[in-house]
Amino acid sequence: MPSLSDLRRDLDLPDDALRDAGSGAAKASVSAVRALAGRGRNGRLVLVTAMTPTRHGEGKTVTSIGLADGLRRRGHRTAVCLRQPSLGPVFGIKGGATGGGRATVEPSTEINLGFTGDLNAVAAAHNLLAALVDNHLYHGNALGIRPDRIAWPRTVDIEDRSLRHIVTGAGDDPKIPRLSSSYVIAAASEVMAILALAGDYADLKARLGRILVAERADGSAVRAADLRAAGSMTALLRDALEPNLVRTAEGTPAIVHAGPFGNIAHGTCSRLAIELGLATTDYCVVEAGFSTELGAEKFVDIVTPVLGHDVDAGVLVVTLRALRYHGGASDEASVRPDLPAMERGLANVEQHLANLAALGIPAVIALNRFPDDTPEEIARLHEFGRAQATPVVESRAFAEGGAGSVDLAEAVEGLVALGRHSRPLSPPGTGPAEQVRAIVTRLYGGREIAPSEEAVRDLAEIARFGELGGPVCVAKTPLSLSEDPHRLGRPQGFVSPVHRYSRSAGAGFTVAYLGAIELMPGLPTHPAAEQIDVDGSGRIVGLS
């Protein structure tokens, strides 16, 4: 494990910028990040995104880590910025989120199983606010909160579908009302989104104070600040706001911080992590959640405005397995060669390249290589890339680490040299419904949106609260370009239903819910938790 002096030297940091966080990790002070960012950003921002994934994932984390290692091998000061793993997916279907093979961030086990406690702090701050709301009702309800209009749920960082709908106040105390409520997974908490977007402690406290908690009888909003909750929530999140600095297995600095999901929030690591990376490196590699119409769009429309830095280059991760699947092969058959299915699946990649172009991001296709990929299918992908005027580079990060990513690093250097930068999809001042329509028609391939009556009422309420400004954050399935997970490939001409809207006032965006989206996932038939164990020496095993 690296020492503090090693980590400081890697990024040329002042002596007081880091403190030991245990297990080979360090915390970077918020004041140090602010000072470094204030002196100017020298790094180039490289965003790693992907085609529409299968349920297995297509290797964005592995590719991001390998690319950072490859850029470092080419003589560049580099850092990779990743989200912290949520315990829900770790114990669910996905497993760990620290890469794999020869492209990992270390210490991977500790990072996957709680790391520096940041997600615990998010859950504690979130649940404190829920407790303060209930306590306010118990002690007389001076704010006039309508109990049936409390919008703030509880949270836990474990997937548990039985908590999607709960009833509180089921005891005999007449002062405790019986209320319907719910749980969301911690990565879906607005507190997580706020942590990932806050620039310093004052910004964090202000954002927490703006959280919409409930409604009064007169229709006005009750916010966390009205309950005097922002200060204590900030206290719980004080250490969690500091970015976590570790290394890849090859020694490249890795900043692993915050973990909003890409299908229900903006899906990238913290603003402070990226600012630290940009201020101290030549290349800052950032992984975006899921595919271009989710993570990449949200990064450009939600993150870059607060970051003050546009994307310089994009990497679109592709696998032949996903191409076959989107070309009609079954999940089981997609691991076997199938050139016709693979060719049909290229339509999905074509849409994602168009999406990156719409966002102004120059891109390279990174083929995440698997041992059984066939020469014929690889040749067809290269032919497709030439027709799209987009380079295709084979990435062997899993098997070879940075050595298998040098070609990709060289391609990224070429993109950066073009001097092109990302741009938001909609101009400032565009309303939420118009933003959703632009996303659906320009990035998903849809023809129109169809808001429900509930969605229309939601926007009217958000307008009444004076909260219509800012970007939208679409919550939808990551398994399709559309809101329907069964529409594979490149669906076109569909009408996308908008079921409802909610306002994340502290995060500064409006969430639009398309399709059936759960903020509390459920565990699969055979969750990864069944394989995780501790051996006789105390070593954790079975964590993939």
Same domain (yes/no): 288, 386: yes
> Phi and psi dihedrals of 442, rounded to 5?
-95, -30
In a domain, 520, yes or no: no
Specify the residue for token string 């950072």. Answer: 68
Listed as own residue / partner, the contacts of 13-17 with beta carbons closer than 8 Å and 24 or more positions apart are: 13/280
411-455 pLDDT, tens per residue?
A: 999 999 999 999 999 999 999 999 999 999 999 999 999 999 999
| In-domain check, residue 530 | no
Give yes or no: residues 250 and 375 share one domain.
Answer: yes
Please give, one letter per residue, the 3-state secondary structure of 454-506: HHHHHHHHHHHCCCCCCCEEEECCCCCCCCCCCCCCCCCCCEEEECEEEEECC
Whose CA is closest to 343, among 355, 326, 368? Answer: 326
What is the count of structural domains for the chain?
A: 3
Q: What is the pLDDT of residue 516?
A: 82
What was the pLDDT predicted at 174? 86
Helix (H) or strand (E) holding 254: strand 253-256
**pLDDT of 5 over the 90 cut:** no
Between the alpha carbon of residue 123 and those of residues 112, 117, 355, 507, the distances in Å are 17, 10, 34, 16
Spell out the SS3 assignment of 378-409.
HHHHHHHHHHCCCCEEEECHHHHHHHHHHHHH
C-alpha–C-alpha distance, residues 252 and 79, integer Å: 6
> Domain containing 376 — which CATH number?
3.40.50.300
Average pLDDT over residues 475-490: 96
Whole-angstrom distance, CA of residue 515 vs CA of residue 501? 12
Domain match, 155 and 185 both = yes
**What does the pLDDT read at residue 251?**
94
Last residue of a domain, one of 196, 220, 236: 236
Per-residue pLDDT reduced to its tens digit, 268-293: 999 999 999 999 999 999 999 999 99
Token couple for 311: 């994307």
Q: Are 309 and 412 contained in the same domain?
A: yes
> pTM score, two decimals?
0.95
Expressed as residue numbers, the domain containing 459 is 432-513
Place of tokens 């199983």: 113
Q: Is the bond preceding 2 in cis, omega lying within 30 degrees of 0?
A: no
In a domain? residue 423: no
- Co-location of 152 and 217 in the same domain: yes
Q: Which long-range contacts (CB under 8 A, 24 or more apart) does 524-529 make?
A: 524/92, 524/93, 527/91, 527/92, 527/93, 527/159, 528/90, 528/91, 528/92, 528/93, 528/94, 528/95, 529/91, 529/92
CATH code of 439's domain: 3.10.410.10
Residues 303, 282 share a domain: yes
Asked if 381 and 388 touch (Cβ cutoff 8 Å), the reply is: no
CA 149 to chain CA centroid, Å, is 29
319 is a domain residue: yes
- Helix H segments across 142-200? 190-197
Domain boundary among 220, 236, 252: 236
Do 137 and 111 belong together in one domain? no
Looking at the structure, do residues 282 and 381 belong to the same domain, yes or no? yes
- Is 172 a residue whose pLDDT tops 90? no
Determine the Cα–Cα distance for residues 405 and 408; give it in Å rounded to an integer.
5
Could you give phi then psi for residue 204, rounded to 5 degrees? -60, -50
CATH of the domain at 191: 3.30.1510.10
User: Torsion-angle region of residue 489: left (phi > 0), alpha (psi -120 to 50) or beta?
Assistant: left
Compute, in degrees rounded to 10, the torsion defined by CA atoms 292, 61, 542, 537: -150
In terms of domains, do 72 and 147 share one?
A: no
What is the reported pLDDT for 88? 87
* pLDDT mean over 452-478: 96
Same domain for 63 and 13: yes
Whether the pLDDT of residue 41 is over 70: the answer is no
Q: Is residue 193 part of a domain?
A: yes
Burial 357-387 (b: 16+ CB within 10 A, else e): ebbbbbbbbbbbbeeebeeebbebbeebbee
Number of CB atoms found within 10 A of residue 12's CB: 11
Would you say residue 167 lies in a domain? yes
Tell me if residue 59 falls in helix, strand or coil.
Answer: coil
User: Would you say residue 89 lies in a domain?
Assistant: yes
Residue 422 lies in a domain: no
Query: For the chain, what percentages of helix, strand and coil (3-state, to nearest 5) are there?
Result: 40, 20, 40
pLDDT over 90 percentage in the chain: 87
In this structure, the answer to whether residues 122 and 215 fall within a common structural domain is: yes
SS3 325: helix
Pair 316, 339 in one domain:
yes
How many whole angstroms separate alpha carbon 101 and alpha carbon 108?
12
Confidence of residue 263 (pLDDT cuts 50, 70, 90): confident
The percent of residues in the chain predicted with pLDDT above 70, rounded, is 99
Q: At residue 412, what are phi and psi to the nearest 5 degrees?
A: -65, -40
Q: Given 198, 220, 236, which residue is the final one in a domain?
A: 236
pLDDT band at residue 109, thresholds of 50, 70 and 90?
A: very high
476 in Cβ contact with 517 (< 8 Å): yes
Tell me the chain's radius of gyration from C-alpha atoms. Answer: 23
At residue 213, the 3 state secondary structure works out as: strand
Measure CA 134 to chain center. Answer: 31
Residue in this structure with the two tokens 């989200």, named with its chain if needed: 83
Helix (H, G, I), strand (E, B) or coil at 201: helix
Q: What is the pLDDT of the chain when averaged over all its residues?
A: 95
Q: What is the 3-state secondary structure (H, E, C) of 406-438?
A: HHHHHHHHHHHHCCCCCCCCCCCCCCHHHHHHH
pLDDT tens, residue by residue, 290-300: 999 999 999 99
322-334: string of b/e by CB count within 10 Å (b at 16+)?
bbbbbbbbeeeeb
Confidence at 60, pLDDT banded by 50, 70, 90: very high
Q: What is the DSSP letter of 188?
A: G
Say whether pLDDT at 525 is over 80: yes
